[in-house]
């Protein structure tokens, strides 16, 4: 029978409140009572240990000298003691030994003397620091006063708890500290003298004042016997300590709370780590902006508010124009610096009610709430684009950046999050199609076009593998002899249902993905194979060459030159009979990288033609540096629609410039004899156009070789 099973002073509550294993032993070594923690540590049922000799828990080899033998227990314990011998252990029910430390002292209850033993599992400390001697603890006397009406039950307990590593507090009914241990003093940064007789309000974080007091009130009212809650304390140095407090009470025979026992756990670092992990899970690591997960959550909340309160919301998708060119030209470090600076600029114009998110790569999502009209969303887009007007500078690199923005405006009956972002993406691609720096708001027509475009891209990928794509060849004519000197290779798509799909429809679609690289590889392979079959005729010494257009993606692709070398070897085509066409815009987007590619092509003896000359970024210094074999005059100068006199003057200037620089000049789009005569009079070298022939299948090119193609 447990000695304290019905004791009015709540000794059992006290035993269960302490964090270690606790046993009450009489002077003969008999266990009078223990807490559940000690039973759990040893593996014995609690009732099986009560009334047994303590030596049941002592390993056989230690019984002769163990401090808990009968004679040892009868000694003078007026001074509390802690034993932390490295050989101390208790014998568990299954025969295993558990390394422990002991703290024990004398306690008198109702004129009977007991020894209070605290047993602490020391497995971790023993394994980590076998040579370490734990600091000497001590047991302090604890007095708990009952109310005057219960004077006959007043007692004082002396209990070993000072050496406990967990911060602990005994407080009275008013929350005033009766005693605290050293661990609590360290946690709060205060001495016992500064704490005893006071409550925790004076070092509680202001917003948390009242939390503990409310728990006291509910325990005293009988709503609960114990509780666990979180609270913030202020360390004496001002640092905030986040704590988890476990509290219970000792009650008299009527059930009234006599005093409170609190065990405190410092979880500051644990909470900080949790907060850091939570932040990382919801924010982009590079820019610190919200990531897609947080954006989706905010969008869910915004849609609920719009449905509840009315007004409009909008999602804006902003995509940088040619960000890949920045990474390719200056490296990813500069690209990352650009993204971080962009994020900072965008944040400066972001409304406090809105959310800015890095969607991925060079794309940003913006969530706008509480809009009165779609026009407000367009104003937000313009503000975002205005932040790009000032150039960016990083380590002597100066960049001018532009972007395209797609907008979708929605109300309380809008589609789900995924569809909203997809619609914003569709509007953004329409903005890019219109040119750099545009803003487009989504409409159902755009949605239909996106579906159609997606289907066409899928069909184009299929066409590449099933033989629907082919190369046609338009003759290039020597304007003096009217003989064919070369062919421009042009891709054609014969769709089984749609018929002929124009290149200006499917090529831009391919450029939006890596499919353009596959098409480019196909075009080079087919064109070189065809050109290798064109021999020199009796009328001309040299076999005709072939020109192949390269997209920006393909020209700056690191695999371009190795692929050309491989195709030249496979086809047997002489390198000087291959000419690659690039536009001025492609060549000058990164002049350093362009010069590197040109140098490698010159090494192979492969020529370069500068296409659409005069329509974009014409620069005489760059023209001299690039030194292309051919410059192609855009057809807008050959057959101008407006300001014919000015165009004619520019045409003459371009031809003269090419001749002066010893470059071959080729005019495109010649359709009439008058245009031919004008170009001939200017000493233009070459020409192509419908005046002679459109692009024809490869098998028809043989009929043109060696012939004079008269108008």
**In the predicted structure, residue 158 carries a pLDDT above the cut 70:** no
Mean pLDDT of 640-648: 75
> Mind listing the domains of the chain with CATH numbers?
1-165 (3.30.450.20), 180-281 (3.30.450.20), 283-442 (3.30.70.270), 456-703 (3.20.20.450)
**In the predicted structure, residue 6 carries a pLDDT above the cut 80:** no
Query: Shortest CA distance to 585 belongs to which of 553, 561, 552?
Result: 552
Q: pLDDT confidence of 139, banded at 50, 70, 90?
A: very low
Q: pLDDT confidence of 706, banded at 50, 70, 90?
A: low
**In the predicted structure, residue 17 carries a pLDDT above the cut 70:** no
What distance in Å separates the CA atoms of residue 170 and residue 200, rounded to the nearest whole number? 12
Task: Read off the pTM.
Answer: 0.49
pLDDT recorded at residue 607: 92
Determine contact, residues 608/627, Cβ cutoff 8 Å.
no
**In the predicted structure, residue 587 carries a pLDDT above the cut 90:** no
Q: How many CB atoms lie within 10 A of CB 133?
A: 9
**pLDDT, tens only, 313-343:** 999 999 998 787 787 777 888 888 999 999 9
List of residues 6+ apart from 622 with CB closer than 8 A: 587, 588, 591
List of residues 6+ apart from 637 with CB closer than 8 A: 614, 647, 650, 651, 654, 667
pLDDT recorded at residue 121: 79
What distance in Å separates the CA atoms of residue 62 and residue 41, rounded to the nearest whole number? 19
Q: pLDDT confidence of 644, banded at 50, 70, 90?
A: confident
pLDDT above 70 covers a percentage of the chain that reads: 83
Half-sphere exposure of 607 (CA within 13 A, CB side): 19
Residue 310 main-chain phi, psi, to 5 deg: 90, -160
**In the predicted structure, residue 617 carries a pLDDT above the cut 70:** no
**In the predicted structure, residue 40 carries a pLDDT above the cut 60:** yes
pLDDT recorded at residue 254: 75
What distance in Å separates the CA atoms of residue 249 and residue 258, rounded to the nearest whole number? 7
**pLDDT, tens only, 540-570:** 667 899 999 998 888 888 889 999 999 999 9
pLDDT recorded at residue 5: 46
pLDDT top residue among 454 and 144: 454
pLDDT recorded at residue 11: 59
pLDDT recorded at residue 285: 85
**In the predicted structure, residue 8 carries a pLDDT above the cut 60:** no
DSSP 53: B
**In the predicted structure, residue 590 carries a pLDDT above the cut 80:** no
pLDDT top residue among 69 and 624: 624
Mean pLDDT of 622-637: 83
pLDDT recorded at residue 546: 95
pLDDT recorded at residue 618: 53
**In the predicted structure, residue 702 carries a pLDDT above the cut 70:** yes
**In the predicted structure, residue 157 carries a pLDDT above the cut 50:** no
**In the predicted structure, residue 7 carries a pLDDT above the cut 50:** no
Q: pLDDT confidence of 116, banded at 50, 70, 90?
A: confident
Q: Which residue's entry shows tokens 């620091």?
A: 129
pLDDT recorded at residue 69: 45
Two tokens at 472? 């046609």
Q: pLDDT confidence of 88, banded at 50, 70, 90?
A: confident
pLDDT recorded at residue 160: 43
**In the predicted structure, residue 98 carries a pLDDT above the cut 80:** yes
pLDDT recorded at residue 19: 66
**In the predicted structure, residue 212 carries a pLDDT above the cut 90:** no
Q: Which residues pair with 232 in a beta bridge?
A: 242
Mean pLDDT, the chain, as a whole number?
A: 81
**pLDDT, tens only, 290-314:** 888 889 999 989 888 888 888 899 9
Q: pLDDT confidence of 398, banded at 50, 70, 90?
A: confident
**In the predicted structure, residue 2 carries a pLDDT above the cut 60:** no
**Three-class DSSP category at 617:** coil
pLDDT recorded at residue 498: 84
pLDDT top residue among 134 and 91: 91
Q: pLDDT confidence of 135, banded at 50, 70, 90?
A: very low
Most confident of 2-11, 537-546, 615-624: 537-546
């Amino acid at each position: 029978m447990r000695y304290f099973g019905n004791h009015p002073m709540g000794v059992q509550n006290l035993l269960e409140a302490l964090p270690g294993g606790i046993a009450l032993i009489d002077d003969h070594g008999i266990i009078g009572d223990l807490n559940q923690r000690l039973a759990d540590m040893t593996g014995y049922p609690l009732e099986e240990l009560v009334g047994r000799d303590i030596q049941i828990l002592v390993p056989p080899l230690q019984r002769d000298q163990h401090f808990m033998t009968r004679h040892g227990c009868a000694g003078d314990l007026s001074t509390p003691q802690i034993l932390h011998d490295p050989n101390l252990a208790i014998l568990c029910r299954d025969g295993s030994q558990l390394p422990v430390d002991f703290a024990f002292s004398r306690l008198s209850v109702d004129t009977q003397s007991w020894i209070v033993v605290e047993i602490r599992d020391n497995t971790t400390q023993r394994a980590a620091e076998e040579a370490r001697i734990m600091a000497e603890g001590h047991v302090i006397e604890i007095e708990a006063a009952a109310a005057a009406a219960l004077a006959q039950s007043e007692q004082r307990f002396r209990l070993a708890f000072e050496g406990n590593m967990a911060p602990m507090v005994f407080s009275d009914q008013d929350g005033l500290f009766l005693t605290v241990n050293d661990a609590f003093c360290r946690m709060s940064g205060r001495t016992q003298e500064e704490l005893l007789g006071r409550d925790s309000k004076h070092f509680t974080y202001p917003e948390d004042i009242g939390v503990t007091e409310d728990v006291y009130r509910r325990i005293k009212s009988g709503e609960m016997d114990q509780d666990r809650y979180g609270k913030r304390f202020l360390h004496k140095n001002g640092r905030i300590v986040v704590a988890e407090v476990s509290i219970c009470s000792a009650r008299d025979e009527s059930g009234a709370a006599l005093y409170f026992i609190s065990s405190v756990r410092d979880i500051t670092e644990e909470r900080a780590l949790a907060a850091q992990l939570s932040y990382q899970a919801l924010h982009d690591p590079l820019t610190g902006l919200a990531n897609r997960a947080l954006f989706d959550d905010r969008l869910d909340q915004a849609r609920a508010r719009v449905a509840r309160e009315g007004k409009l919301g909008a999602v804006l998708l902003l995509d940088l124009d040619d960000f890949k060119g920045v990474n390719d030209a200056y490296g990813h470090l500069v690209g990352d610096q650009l993204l971080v600076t962009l994020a900072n600029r965008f944040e400066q114009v972001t409304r406090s009610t809105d959310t800015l998110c890095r969607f991925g790569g060079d794309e940003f999502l913006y969530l706008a709430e509480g809009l009165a009209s779609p026009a407000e969303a367009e104003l937000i887009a313009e503000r975002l684009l205005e932040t790009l007007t000032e150039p960016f500078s990083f380590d002597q690199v100066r960049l001018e950046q532009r972007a395209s923005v797609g907008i979708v405006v929605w109300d309380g009956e809008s589609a789900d999050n995924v569809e909203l972002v997809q619609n914003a993406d569709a509007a953004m691609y329409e903005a890019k199609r219109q040119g750099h720096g545009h803003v487009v708001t989504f409409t159902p027509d755009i949605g239909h076009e996106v579906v159609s475009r997606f289907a066409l891209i899928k069909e184009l990928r299929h066409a590449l593998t099933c033989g629907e794509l082919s190369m046609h060849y338009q003759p290039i004519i020597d304007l003096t002899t009217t003989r064919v000197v070369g062919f421009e290779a042009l891709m054609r798509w014969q769709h089984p249902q749609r018929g002929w799909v124009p290149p200006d429809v499917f090529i831009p679609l391919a450029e939006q993905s890596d499919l353009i690289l596959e098409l480019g590889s196909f075009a080079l392979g087919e064109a070189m194979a065809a050109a290798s079959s064109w021999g020199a005729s009796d009328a001309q010494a040299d076999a005709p060459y072939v020109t192949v257009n390269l997209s920006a993606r393909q020209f700056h692709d690191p695999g371009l030159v190795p692929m050309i070398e491989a195709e030249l070897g496979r086809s047997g085509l002489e390198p000087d009979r291959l000419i690659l066409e690039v536009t001025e815009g492609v060549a000058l987007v990164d002049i350093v990288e362009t010069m590197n590619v040109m140098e490698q092509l010159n090494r192979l003896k492969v020529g370069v033609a500068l296409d659409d000359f005069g329509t974009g970024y014409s620069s005489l210094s760059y023209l001299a540096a690039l030194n292309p074999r051919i410059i192609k005059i855009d057809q807008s100068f050959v057959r101008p629609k407006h300001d014919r006199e000015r165009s004619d003057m520019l045409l003459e200037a371009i031809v003269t410039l090419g001749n002066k620089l010893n470059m071959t000049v080729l005019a495109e789009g010649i359709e009439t004899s008058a245009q031919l005569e004008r170009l001939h009079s200017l000493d233009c070298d070459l020409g192509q156009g419908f005046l002679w022939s459109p692009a024809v299948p490869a098998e028809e090119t043989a009929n043109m070789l060696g012939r004079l193609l008269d108008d």
